[in-house]
Chains A and B, each alone.
Chain A
Amino acid sequence: MADYLAHERKLTLKVVYYGPALSGKTTNLMQLHTLLRPQRKGELMVLETRDDRTLFFDVLPIGLRSENGLDLRLKLYTVPGQVQHDSTRKAVLSRADGVIFVADSQAAQQDNNANAFDNLADNLQKLGMDIEQLPLVVQFNKRDVPGAVDEDGLQARWRDTPWAPLCMASAISGQGVVESFRLLLERLYPALDREYQLADGEGIDAATFVRQLSMAEEGD
């Protein structure tokens, strides 16, 4: 649920990286922090424990200012993937505007992917949101790992869901990370435009929205 403060002309959005433990959510965020050159970018805040596991969340704020002075901010969060941190996961997921589900491509992790996806649907329902309506991108990470499950099979399996096509990524090398994020921005834009007239009122059309927020180092 986007948060708009009229007197400050400030619109804050929330995107959550969800997924099973050790699927690379924090790595996605770190890569975005490295690769993105959006109009405004804050510090990446990582709250990990001693063994590098996320205990609470990570957050990366980015933003843009429209010519009309709209202060649009996007806070990118990760949730802790470990099963026992469900209440933290739920608190972070609360009021999310979009979700990137980071799945693990290793064959042995497919059950964990399914459980985490069920957990996502379950928590969204408890928070009063509908997974079918929420802008959601499914990313299969760790494509570089030997024995990763076949991409064609994955795409075929997800073809009839609202979340096709899937994004393939290798977050450790930064591959597919920005693409996944852009796909989410594209899916996020229509609902925002409907509610806040971004195109008509602020001069931010879909292409501008995606470009301004996801400009990458290479300059593409």
Chain B
Amino acid sequence: MLGFEDDPQLIDLLPVERQQRLLQLLQALVTQPLSLHEHYRDDAEPVEFNLETLAWLHCPQQPQVQQAAARLLEFVLFYVGKYRLAANLHHDTTEASFAELQRQHAALQASEARYRELSAQLQARVDEQVQVIEQAQQQLYETARLRSIGQLAAGVAHEINNPIGFIASNLRVADDYLDELSAKLPADPACALLLKDFKDLLGESLSGTQRIAAIVTDLKTFSNIDQADFVPCDLNALIGTTCHLLQAESSQALHIELRLSEMPHLAGYPAKISQVFYNVLDNAVKALAGAGTIRVTSRLGGDGALEVIVEDNGCGIPAADLSRLFEPFFTTRPVGSGTGLGLSVARDTMTAHQGEILVHSRLGTGTRVTLRFLCH
């Protein structure tokens, strides 16, 4: 492409038809035939533009008019060239300015896009932080609530432990006294009936105190009053003893299927882990209500976690209750038959062993509880 300062050819300044028109006018003036030649002719007059010879003007009949005609042609070409140069420069600078403008525009757009992206990133981080804060607040609230419940439970357990102790002890002594007293009383039927009733009353009271003592023990576990050091625990052995205990307590035969695999020992509190197994299995027994099977599986998980899975094909848990399972004192059982602490205690114990407890259940089909000990 021609730059504005490149020397133009004749054709760049005047198109062929204009050249011919000009030549016709010149011919009319000089009344002689004229011709323009692209190449040097000895007998022709050069036509110059800015030192550049553009053509040779030839007048065969009257060479003396050649010079004046050539100067006239140069005069015309000078003004045509002037316009051409200005127009070319204008075109060049306009293009350069436009290219510069486009470059700046592109740079501006890129920068705008960068800022938009940055703004989106910042917004995402703000949202993330807000979520973290909200979560932390929720946890803090939960922890504070649990701690206050734990403190209450610890206080109640401590206060009840002593009086229940001497009540139980006194009841046992009273029972002994009743035996001694019955030997000294006359053996008439009315007296015997009274004594038997008295003995039953004492027996019921004693079993009541035992139940209170058991609740107190649960409360103590729940509030983490007893802390001992971690010792190596054989989870399979703990499962075995817990099953025996349950079997012994139960009034009817339990169908417990054990599928235990070899597992490494776990560092932990054996009493508390047993308590977890007991609480979970006890729930399974109650869900079966005498009919059905419990399956206990122990295995080494893929990620190195020790897993104990307790499954039953009992009544299942209503969906509405699933979210409240681990809430302290939440129970669906009749008053007196559960404290509502079983699963909260289990979850706290699992947390203390860097583990987790997962509950899957379908109403009418059964429940699966997975205990995962992540650290061993």
A residues within 8 A CB of B100? 87
- Over the window 1-44 of chain A, the binary record of Cβ atoms lying under 8 Å from chain B Cβ atoms (1 yes, 0 no) is 00000000000101000000000000000000000000010110
- B4 contacts the other chain (Cβ, under 8 Å)? yes
Q: Give the residues in chain A near B78, CB-CB below 8 Å.
A: 43, 45
For the complex, give the distance between the alpha carbons of A92 and B89 in Å. Answer: 8
Query: Separation in Å of the B328 CB from the closest CB of chain A?
Result: 77
B93–A91 CB distance below 8 A: yes
B45 to chain A, nearest CB (A): 17
**Which of B85, B92, B96 contacts A45, CB < 8 Å?**
B85
Given contacts A14-B5, A43-B78, A47-B82, contact A91 B89 (CB under 8 A): yes
Q: Does B218 contact A (CB under 8 A)?
A: no
Chain A residues with Cβ below 8 Å from B90 are 56
Chain B residues bordering chain A, tally (CB within 8 A): 18
Q: Does A181 contact B (CB under 8 A)?
A: no
Contact present for A90 and B96 (CB under 8 Å): yes
Query: In the complex, which residues of chain A have a beta carbon less than 8 angstroms from the beta carbon of B92?
Result: 91
Most-contacted residue by chain A among B78, B81, B89 (CB, 10 A):
B89
Q: Mark B93-129, 1 if CB is under 8 A from A, else 0.
A: 1001100100000000000000000000000000000
Which residue, of B50, B51, B82, B100, has the highest number of chain A Cβ atoms within 10 A?
Answer: B51
Interface pair A87/B93, CB less than 8 Å apart:
yes
Q: Is B48 an interface residue (CB 8 A)?
A: yes
B76 at the interface (CB under 8 A from A): no
Q: Is the interface of B mostly helix, strand, loop or mixed?
A: helix
Task: Collect the chain A residues with CB atoms within 8 Å of residue B93's CB.
Answer: 87-88, 90-91
CB distance from A126 to the nearest CB of B (A): 10
Q: Which of B51, B82, B86, B96 contacts A61 (CB 8 A)?
A: B51
Which of B50, B51, B96 is in CB contact (< 8 Å) with A87? Answer: B96
Interface residue A75 (Cβ < 8 Å from any Cβ of B): yes
In-complex Cβ contact of B50 among A14, A61, A92 (8 A) = A61
Main SS class of interface, A: strand
Contact with B along A55-71 (1 / 0, CB 8 A): 11101011100000000
Complexed CA–CA distance, A59 and B50 (Å):
9
Q: Which of B40-86 contact A (CB under 8 A)?
A: 48, 50-51, 78, 81-82, 85-86
Asked if residues A59 and B85 are in contact (CB atoms below 8 Å), the reply is yes
Give every chain A residue within 8 A of B5 (Cβ-Cβ). 14, 59, 75, 77
The total of Cβ contacts below 8 Å across the A-B interface reads 47
The interface size of chain A toward B, counting residues with CB under 8 Å, comes to 22
Check B89 against A45 for contact (C-beta < 8 Å): no
Question: Using Cβ atoms and an 8 Å threshold, which residues of chain B touch A92?
Answer: 89
Whether B51 contacts A73 by the Cβ 8 Å rule is: yes
Contact present for A88 and B89 (CB under 8 Å): yes
Contact A56 B89 (CB under 8 A): yes
**Cβ contacts under 8 Å, A45 to chain B:** 50, 78, 81-82, 85
Contacts of A75 in B (CB 8 A): 5, 50
Complex Cα–Cα for A175 and B201 (A) = 140
Q: How far is the CB of A49 from chain B (nearest CB, A)?
A: 11
Q: Which residues of A contact B82 (CB under 8 A)?
A: 45, 47
CB neighbours (8 Å) of B48 from chain A are 42
Nearest A-chain residue to B97, judged by Cβ: A87
Q: How far is the CA of A81 from the CA of B93 in the complex (A)?
A: 16
Asked whether, in the complex, the Cβ of B89 is within 8 Å of the Cβ of A57, the reply is yes
B interface footprint on A76-98 (CB within 8 Å = 1, 0 otherwise): 01000000000110111000000
Q: Which residues of A contact B97 (CB under 8 A)?
A: 87
Distance A37 CA – B51 CA, assembled complex (angstroms): 14
Taking a contact as CB atoms under 8 Å apart, the answer to whether B96 and A47 are in contact is: no
Closest CB in chain A relative to B92 CB, distance in Å: 5
Chain B residues with CB under 8 Å of A47's CB are 82, 85-86
Q: Closest CB of chain A to B162's CB: distance in Å?
A: 95
Determine if A42 and B50 form an interchain contact, defined as CB atoms under 8 angstroms apart: yes
Residue of A nearest to B48 (CB): A42
What's the least CB distance linking B300 to chain A, in Å? 72
Closest Cβ of chain A to B39, distance in Å, is: 14
Q: Is B89 in contact with A42, judged by CB distance below 8 angstroms? A: no
In the bound assembly, the distance between CA atoms of A131 and B62 in angstroms comes to 55
| Interface positions of B (Cβ within 8 A of A) | 4-5, 7, 48, 50-51, 78, 81-82, 85-86, 89-90, 92-93, 96-97, 100
A residues in contact (CB < 8 Å) with B: 12, 14, 40, 42-43, 45, 47, 55-57, 59, 61-63, 73, 75, 77, 87-88, 90-92
Nearest first, the 7 closest Cβ-Cβ pairs linking A and B are: A87-B93, A61-B50, A42-B51, A61-B51, A56-B86, A42-B50, A87-B97
28 contacts between A and B (CB under 8 A): A14-B5, A43-B50, A45-B78, A45-B81, A45-B85, A47-B82, A47-B85, A47-B86, A55-B86, A56-B86, A56-B89, A57-B89, A59-B50, A59-B85, A61-B50, A61-B51, A63-B51, A73-B51, A87-B93, A87-B96, A87-B97, A88-B93, A90-B93, A91-B4, A91-B89, A91-B92, A91-B96, A92-B89
